Structure 1
């Protein structure tokens, strides 16, 4: 059999995993704002309460944002320069694959080995999430920066925590504007 046909399934699987692992980010900001004036932050509770995710994931997101801002030299304060809010969206994606190429089959009487087509469709589902991080000027009550991260989420608790950190880290790389890594 052609060598290409033997490595094709592995190649397709690799492409699927690498395309699902990345987080796509974007940011928008008010160009008239001098971001050097901001030194302190606090979380905007009424905005965060509106985010439609469970409280565990909210805490994960907020801890990750706090960690990123502290690493950038900001201080958490009761009288902040910036208010931090979040917003989330998610979409369920269902993929149906037909005519999978395969080797071998298990059935009555033990395994049967050989090349052939598997006519059973394969169905997979994944959840794509979007996380928005809003930074609001606390004095003016105006949005001055918004970061957005889009990517696939994991249902595994350990991987979910890592994934949330990756989302936040990638988004916060865009802040402050002009300082992207």
Structure 2
């Protein structure tokens, strides 16, 4: 009877450990997929009138990223704007302004396995209530908010605002691909729809 009970508890514990591991992997993968994007625009503007673009030089001078990332961001914007049919010119219909804001971020990762029953360690050994097995780790990094604004040089008005929040600025893994994907996700919201 006791052996059967121990075997049953061991099987349950192993199943819960596997489930906890799968949950951690799922959470980590979902956290890495994309930025949180949003956009806003002037509803009185006819966006069909805009055919050409260039970067807002004063904005580029204030862009708080290293030269490599600035070049990557500009190249990503060029790719997306040209895919939308825009032409880059010296006297554009739209100025593109880029902004990167930074903040400290701490992510806490948990293996997801806590149970009212678990293996006791520390002060005692054996099975008992309200004990659990869990691992926790912390990841501290600079998180970036990417902003892409469209400005009308004729009216001197801000006509479209797009943003992507959640870019890990401290990670250099696949950095160029992540910047490209981030810019693509933000600009996927342009041109705006009146239903937004």
TM normalised by structure 2 equals 0.75
Alignment of 1:142 with 2:154, yes or no, is: no
- Partners of 2:24 and 2:111 within 8 A in 1: no
| Equivalenced residues, count | 165
Distance 2:111 2:22 in 1: 16
1:153 deviates by 2.0
- The answer for the alignment partner of 1:57 in structure 2 is 69
- Residues 56-112 of structure 1 show CA distances to partners (whole Å, capped at 9, x for unaligned) of 1111111101110101101000111000111111222224568997xxxxxxxxxxx
Alignment of 1:34 with 2:36, yes or no, is: no
1:127 deviates by 3.3
- The answer for the alignment partner of 1:113 in structure 2 is none
TM normalised by structure 1 equals 0.80
Dislocated runs of 4+, deviation >3 Å:
95-101, 116-119, 154-158
Distance 1:174 1:17 in 2: 24
1:147 is paired with a residue of what secondary structure?
strand
Distance 2:99 2:189 in 1: 17
Name stretches of at least 5 consecutive residues in structure 2 with no aligned partner. Answer: 1-9, 114-131
Q: Which has the higher strand share?
A: 1
- Residues 9-62 of structure 1 show CA distances to partners (whole Å, capped at 9, x for unaligned) of 232232123123221111111000000001100111111211111111111111
